[in-house]
Amino acid sequence: MLKAKIQKLTVTETNLDYEGSLTLDESLMAAADMIPFEQVHVYNISNGERFLTYLIKGKKKSGVVGVNGAAAHKAKVGDKLIVASYISLEENEIDFFMPKIIIVEKNLKIIKIK
């Protein structure tokens, strides 16, 4: 099941020389209940690329969205992303579970939490 999704993120940096992962502003991670090293699916709205990686906590309120390592070939600064995490649930939990959907503006300000 979808656990959380952050929509309309704008890539602020890329780093091919980094080992890998997605650096994300700590405040955005907290709003989506995402944690460091959690596996995430990244969907690049700008070019259609999709990839799996894990999260690295970026400085709180920095607005950082950094695509690192090999994944940096799949995004460039200015690209729009969706970052999604998923969870396994027991059958009796499904009816009561609601994913968090976070929508941000250009400056990564949260404008809506569903």
CA 102 to chain centroid, in Å, comes to 10
Please confirm, yes or no, whether 21 is among the known catalytic residues. yes
Question: Has 85 been annotated as catalytic?
Answer: no
Q: Which of 18, 21, 27, 46 is catalytic?
A: 21
Active-site annotation holder among 18, 46, 54, 86: 54
Q: Which residues are catalytic?
A: 21, 54
